[in-house]
Structure 1
């Protein structure tokens, strides 16, 4: 008889140990794979952070925003609204009216600007179109305003009494030149010399409309 008898282990216990061993191996493999993936990622991340790596082929492309389209330059502008004779004028046509020159300063988004303008008065051009005030209404002219519109949609308003002698008398011009340079290529510019800010200095004028705002 052998001094060391053979110890018999049940087959079920052997199978259980093998299954447990395989499960442990599988569970340990998952963290190992995650660590390997993280380590593989580090060189690329470090290179990208330092600027030495090449950009990924799938990186998003951000194009520069398009430049704003400049407003169309008006070939002519119209005088319309409550007038007997609507007009269609070019910058060259403004020479037919009495000319005035003024040096003005106003505050704009880029700071204070100072310019010299030449052209007819706004009130003279509208008078040439024949304002249709109501004679039966006392001081009907006090109920009117002038709407100036630019080719980019910008608009500004002056009251009729504001630019009329005997009331405001503001010498607003429809300027044909700025600092001695013709505005024929861009269209005329409205000036309002009584304004501190330049918001009503409308460029690229396309229309001047006399409107009645009273009841």
Structure 2
């Protein structure tokens, strides 16, 4: 029926409006489609057998679980709140500081406290990322004993991937599962 068909110019005007309203309505719904699919996709992240240490370091490392176990091991009892509620775990693994030092951070000795300008980006196999600062883990400043844990509650994490710990954090957001990379970044560079 010719009377009910839209002209091309009307379609060009109405289509963007329709798409905008559709996107807006999806954003306003509780638990949008994107939110509903994200947990399922990240519930079973791909397991990687190595952790890459890179960024502003003298030499890039590719560490296996065996390599991580070769570092001095530390045990940590931690409590934090997660989306599931309060959690208590015992982790064992090397200090993040020791792992990074083995890659020879590229701090400039000619600049006073150059290390204070560095951050550490931790990335998981599902794309989740978290950040710690170098002074936060440096024993001369914050001294947080973050681990790249190889076991949780006595269970090896070989099939799940190493886990970053952030002792002292009241929430578990920086306890990164299935760590695949540790990148040293100079801030403001």
TM-score bin, normalised by smaller chain: 0.7 to 0.9
CA distance in structure 1 between the aligned counterparts of 2:154 and 2:66, rounded to whole angstroms? 14
Quick one: distance in 2 between partners of 1:88 and 1:150?
A: 15
Residue 194 of structure 1 corresponds to 168
- Match in the other structure for 1:71: 45
The runs of 5 or more residues in structure 1 that have no matched partner are 1-64
Q: Which runs of 5+ in 2 are unaligned?
A: 1-35
Maintained 8 Å contact 1:100/1:120: yes
Counterpart contact for 1:144–1:214, Cα < 8 Å? no
**Which residue among 38, 49, 57 is the counterpart of 1:83?**
57
Aligned positions of 1:126-141 closer than 5 A: 126-141=100-115
Determine whether 1:120 maps to 2:89.
no
The equivalent of 1:40 in structure 2 is none
Distance 1:189 1:92 in 2: 15
TM-score of the superposed pair, with normalisation by structure 1: 0.68
How big is the shift at 1:117? 0.2
How many corresponding residue pairs?
151
Decide which of 76, 83, 88 is 1:109's aligned counterpart. Answer: 83
Task: Between 189-198 and 70-79, report the one with greater CA deviation.
Answer: 70-79
Output the aligned Cα RMSD: 1.5
**Residues 44-91 of structure 1: CA deviation (Å, up to 9, x unaligned):** xxxxxxxxxxxxxxxxxxxxx989242111111100000011110122
Q: What's 2:10 paired with?
A: none
Question: What pairs with 1:1-215 in structure 2 (closer than 5 Å)?
Answer: 68-69=40-41, 70-215=44-189
Provide the rounded CA distance (Å) in 2 between the counterparts of 1:96 and 1:71.
25
Q: Show CA shifts across 1:145-197 (max 9, x none).
A: 00000011100000000000110000100000000010011110000111000
Q: CA deviation at 1:92?
A: 2.1
